[in-house]
Amino acid sequence: MTQTQRSPGLPGSAVWMLKSLESEVRPIALQITRHLRESLPAETEGFEEIIFTAVHGAMSHFIDLGLGRAAPYTAIDDHFRKVGFRVAALGEARAIVDGGIDMATTELWDELRRRAVENELSAAALNALNEMMTAYVDHLTAQVTAGFEAGTEARDQDNDVARARLIDRMLSGASAAEMEVQAALGEWDLPEKVTVMAVELRDGGRIAADALSATALTRRREPTQVVICPPHDAAAITKQVRAAAGPKSRVSVCWPVPPEDVPAAWRWANRALALVNARVIPAKPVIDCLAYRTEIWLHAEPVMRRQLAQELLEPLLAESENSREILTETLLVWLETRESAPAIAAVLGVHPQTIRYRWKRINELFGESLRDPEFVTQLLLLLKASVPLWVAGDQSDFDRYQQQTG
């Protein structure tokens, strides 16, 4: 049939029966999907959505054709080709699809025959429906065949290309199904969790895939290079990365995450490198993100930190540099410990009376706000995020305050 061809006219009773079936397409499709899932092998777990879409789409399209409507084949053909492609790409047998089509066809035909008996449909009308369904199923089977052949060919292609696609899919937050397809094409076992690394290279360097173990995926993603591997291989692959990248490189290793969280892990690993460059995190050849998870979290939203600094820290920003430094030092220790003046003095190595003088000034600056639990919590997190930047020489908060206040 052509892309917009209408099916030959059916007897009026058959048309009437198909019309009565329109409102029940979804529940029938759900029932067929459930039965198919129960009968198919365990390897097809997670196929429910694609099975339902295929059954529901085919039923709706078949009814449209039977009712003489202009019903393009484009969408339904594309979906069944994708079914065939996905099954082949995952290395499954073609028999899975053929068996599913046979079972779905049998269930739908049983439903049509039951309705035919209930409504005393003529044998001629039932035969016409049978011929139409046979031709329709043959057409869909041909689409599955085309998709399966394409999937088989793709699976046999260079797995380096497939692995590059897998990295792209993982970093873009693709569905589990998409990642499984690309992992199968690349002959890479997709683990329950992965370790994501961001490699900071010098002089436009690049790490070749063959420099790492086969369990590692890697690709240059400016300004850093990504490496993804199973957690149990992370230590060995980190050493390989260091050897391949050179002594001037730096590797940020995130803690293990599920594959669907790779985009977040990639952000965290790169954030850790940025914090090293900002001198918030100590500069080391290998950065263990787990050890600096608090810093990564506190600096996850730099724009929000800047805005909160202008709002919550305005009294401190207005102080002289020396006053701001000693008051911030005292306030942060109090927020972290809630200790008395003598205890804070012991931590800072000053006289308790000095702490009392400072605390008096802090109360003058912040007043009743220091008795607000929510304000105090925000102030603690904000200072823990901001003070390391100030100590490292970042003066942007003070410059921004002066610009706003003139």
pLDDT along the chain (406 residues), means of 10: 49 83 87 79 66 87 86 86 82 79 87 83 85 91 90 67 88 91 87 96 83 93 92 96 91 96 96 94 95 90 90 92 92 93 94 94 93 93 91 89 84
pLDDT recorded at residue 42: 57
pLDDT recorded at residue 4: 39
Question: How is residue 244 written in tokens?
Answer: 């391949």
Hey, what CATH topology would domain 302-405 get? Arc Repressor Mutant, subunit A (1.10.10)
Q: Residues 304-317: pLDDT tens digits? A: 999 999 999 999 99
pTM of the model: 0.56
Q: Domain map of the chain by residue range? A: 12-155, 192-298, 302-405
Strands (E), 153-265: 195-200, 217-221, 224-229, 250-253
Hey, what CATH topology would domain 192-298 get? Alpha-Beta Plaits (3.30.70)
Residue-wise DSSP of 92-149: --THHHHHHHHHHHHHHHHHHHHHHHHTT--HHHHHHHHHHHHHHHHHHHHHHHHHHH
- Tell me whether domains 12-155 and 192-298 share a fold: no
Hey, what CATH topology would domain 12-155 get? Globin-like (1.10.490)
In whole angstroms, give the CA distance from residue 226 to residue 276: 18
Give me the helix-helix angle, 12-21 and 95-118, nearest 10°: 110
In whole angstroms, give the CA distance from residue 279 to residue 342: 32
DSSP reduced 3-state for 89: helix
